């Protein structure tokens, strides 16, 4: 292989440089797959040959269309896209990356991004580049449209879906856990001075204030000292938060513990499964996905050839066999593709995509009767406009005009836009046309998530709960229940002190400062009466600068408020932590697999914006409740 051809292949497959191929370059040589071990076939002849044909590194027609000279990049991309549509290749990811990162091209950044998006409509990286180029050019509406397309394409693209699922689930886990701990911290701070005062009275009434606080802190930090980490801190703060006579803050603290445990265990298992799917992704599945783009590297080609050589009734991979059948059909080897589909259908498969693609091969082999039967089986499993359209083409090939018109009318009734698009592709096709469906995404994702995620989940939990609280949900739940039981029993016969609703000063009957009226100290109660008599009372603005600063802090962090006004503290804390986590966590979990680009920032930024809006709503509602309680 010459140096020029090697450079072209590296650019096309890996997408890291300019494309240097010319029209006069010969077709790339085929990759010789290693000969597999011959399998014993009980009933010859076998539907699939024991040794598969060598797998070329690129589909020849795509290679020729891309390498042929063109007036500009847009014309080159449009010509290649037309060939890809005819070959049923949905997304040309390698060529899109090659166009996008070709810094030596005379095309502008926006032209390269538009060409990349045309070549690979399912590649988030291409749409994100188009959004950034449009924004840089001052086209705000085009930038927003491209950003929306980038976000929508994230779950459609396999590698991007893996990245998005792992990143979003890990960030959600830590955001919920952090929000619960922040709320418990706020409730601990709000309750600590009263709990310390009551704790000291239980031991000795003459205990100094600093000794009371130090003793309470020592008890609360015991789990942390034993290596329980953030979860241990939450356990101690939970004990302090329960030392309040108000019912609503106690319930809110219990709900915060439930959120913390849910983040550590159920959500932690989900996040662990996503991370494990990325870390140990099935190489055969990824090779099958690469083959759908029309370009594979030598390693993926060897994996597919080896997987396709194994008998399906042993340890063969049906997805790899289907990927090879698609490749052979696009390469023109219809007989080999039909044999592979026959082997797959012999396993009593009812997947609509498999039935549809097998029928397309039958139609290309001039066997419309078999194609009609397969299309009808696919429609029984999952009706769609595409299947009805293909059935109409099969009836047309069988010269059955009446059934052709009925099937086409059914397709038109289900989705006219799909029919228009397929009709346009039919007009440009050079042979019998029947649209193919991609490899079964649901099965591929199910296999990727089927691995053992326990180790990954434990490693994620260890960042917050490195000790016993992170080993088992039962142990953690038992610990929190035991602490709650001990606090409730220990404070049952103690009249807890409270805070004045206006100035926040401590009220305690044992110290002679009994609450007045609706839970205020005598000074604030008298000031309220005097202000109302003079029609000049404004509870929201009265008090010293320190009191106003405290009220501002309680509004920004509602968990600091006492009584019934702390109910909004937990959702506010979780929403605030989620807004922060998703805003700065784009690259904090996993690196970009080379397909996401700024699309990840767009998607996670949108989540951050929604979470920030929820936080502001919680703060506003808390402020209204606070003002109403002071009126």
Mean pLDDT, 10 residues at a time, the chain of 631 residues: 39 36 35 38 43 69 89 91 88 92 86 94 94 92 94 93 94 96 89 70 64 78 92 93 82 94 95 89 86 88 83 75 90 91 81 92 92 94 93 92 93 92 79 82 86 88 94 94 88 66 61 62 65 52 58 71 69 94 88 91 95 92 69 50
Q: Smallest Cα–Cα separation from 592: which of 604, 608, 580?
A: 604
pLDDT of residue 232: 95
Query: Torsion-angle region of residue 499: left (phi > 0), alpha (psi -120 to 50) or beta?
Result: beta
Q: What is the pLDDT of residue 351?
A: 85
Q: Whole-angstrom Cα distance, residue 120 to residue 95?
A: 8
On whether the CB atoms of residues 189 and 557 are closer than 8 A, the answer is no
pLDDT at 20: 33
CA 228 from chain centre, in angstroms, equals 29
Residue 514 token pair: 């009994």
H or E, element range at 135: helix 124-136
Round the CA-based radius of gyration of the chain to a whole number and report it. 33
Per-residue burial over 416-437, b if 16 or more Cβ lie within 10 Å, else e, is: eebbebbeeeeeeeeebbbbbb
What was the pLDDT predicted at 166? Answer: 94
Residue 450's contacts (CB-CB under 8 Å, 6 or more residues apart) are none
Would you list the DSSP string of 80-124? Answer: HHHHHHHHT----HHHHHHHHT-TT-SS-HHHHHHHHHHH-TT-H
Give residue 249's pLDDT: 84
Is residue 287 classed as helix, strand or coil in its secondary structure? Answer: helix
The pTM (predicted TM-score) of the whole model is 0.80
pLDDT score at 506: 62
* Cα(124)–Cα(129) distance, integer angstroms: 9
DSSP characters for 474-525? Answer: HHHHHHHHHHHHHHHHHTTTS---EE-TTT--EEBGGGTB--BTTTB-HHHH
């Amino acid at each position: 292989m010459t140096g020029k051809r090697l450079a072209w292949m590296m650019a096309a497959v890996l997408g890291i440089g300019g494309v240097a191929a010319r029209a006069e370059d010969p077709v790339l040589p085929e990759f010789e797959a290693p000969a597999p071990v011959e399998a014993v076939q009980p009933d010859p002849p076998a539907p699939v040959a024991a040794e598969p044909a060598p797998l070329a590194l690129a589909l020849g027609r795509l290679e020729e269309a891309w390498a042929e000279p063109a007036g500009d990049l847009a014309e080159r991309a449009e010509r290649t896209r037309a060939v890809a549509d005819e070959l049923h290749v949905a997304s040309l990811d390698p060529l899109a990356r090659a166009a996008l990162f070709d810094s030596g091209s005379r095309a502008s950044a926006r032209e390269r991004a538009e060409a990349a998006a045309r070549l690979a409509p399912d590649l988030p990286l291409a749409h994100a580049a188009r959004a950034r180029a449009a924004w840089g050019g001052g086209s705000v509406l085009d930038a927003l449209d491209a950003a929306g397309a980038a976000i929508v394409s994230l779950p459609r693209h396999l590698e991007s879906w893996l990245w998005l699922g792992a990143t979003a689930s890990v960030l959600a886990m830590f955001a919920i856990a952090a929000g619960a701990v922040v709320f418990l911290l706020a409730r601990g701070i709000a309750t600590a001075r009263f709990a310390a005062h009551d704790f000291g009275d239980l031991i000795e009434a003459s205990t100094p204030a600093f000794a009371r606080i130090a003793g309470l802190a020592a008890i609360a930090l015991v789990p942390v000292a034993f290596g329980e980490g953030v979860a241990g801190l939450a356990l101690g703060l939970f004990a302090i938060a329960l030392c309040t006579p108000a019912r609503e803050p106690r319930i809110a603290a219990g709900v915060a513990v439930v959120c913390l445990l849910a983040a550590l265990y159920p959500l932690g298992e989900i996040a662990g499964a996503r991370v494990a799917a990325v870390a140990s992704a099935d190489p055969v599945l990824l090779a099958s996905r690469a083959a759908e783009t029309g370009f594979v590297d030598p390693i993926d080609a060897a994996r597919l050839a080896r997987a396709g050589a194994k008998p399906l009734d042993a340890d063969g991979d049906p997805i790899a066999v289907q990927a090879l059948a698609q490749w052979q059909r696009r390469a023109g080897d219809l007989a080999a593709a039909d044999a592979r589909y026959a082997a797959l259908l012999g396993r009593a498969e009812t997947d609509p995509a498999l039935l549809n693609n097998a029928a397309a091969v039958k139609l290309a082999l001039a066997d419309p009767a078999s194609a009609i039967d397969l299309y009808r089986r696919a429609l029984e499993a999952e009706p769609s406009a595409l299947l009805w359209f293909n059935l109409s083409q099969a009836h047309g090939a069988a010269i059955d005009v009446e059934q052709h018109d009925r099937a086409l009318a059914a397709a038109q009734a289900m989705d006219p836009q799909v029919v228009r698009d397929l009709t346009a592709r039919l007009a440009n096709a050079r042979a019998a046309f029947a649209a193919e469906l991609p490899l079964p995404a649901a099965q591929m994702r199910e296999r990727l998530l089927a691995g053992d995620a326990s180790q990954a989940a434990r490693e994620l939990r260890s960042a917050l709960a490195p000790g016993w609280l992170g080993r088992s949900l039962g142990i953690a739940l038992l610990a929190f229940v035991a602490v709650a039981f001990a606090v409730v029993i220990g404070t049952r016969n103690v009249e807890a002190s409270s805070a004045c609703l206006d100035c926040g000063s401590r009220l305690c009957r044992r110290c002679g400062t009994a609450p007045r009226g609706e839970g205020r100290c005598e000074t604030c109660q008298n000031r309220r009466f005097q202000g109302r008599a003079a029609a000049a009372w404004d509870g929201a603005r009265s008090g010293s600068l320190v009191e106003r600063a405290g009220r501002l802090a309680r509004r920004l962090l509602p968990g600091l408020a006492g009584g019934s006004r702390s109910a909004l503290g937990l959702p506010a804390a979780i929403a605030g932590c989620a807004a922060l986590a998703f805003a700065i966590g784009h690259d904090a979990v996993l690196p970009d697999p080379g397909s996401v680009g700024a699309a990840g920032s767009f998607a996670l930024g949108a989540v951050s914006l929604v979470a920030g809006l929820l936080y502001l709503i919680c703060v506003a509602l808390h402020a209204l409740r606070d003002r109403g309680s002071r009126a």
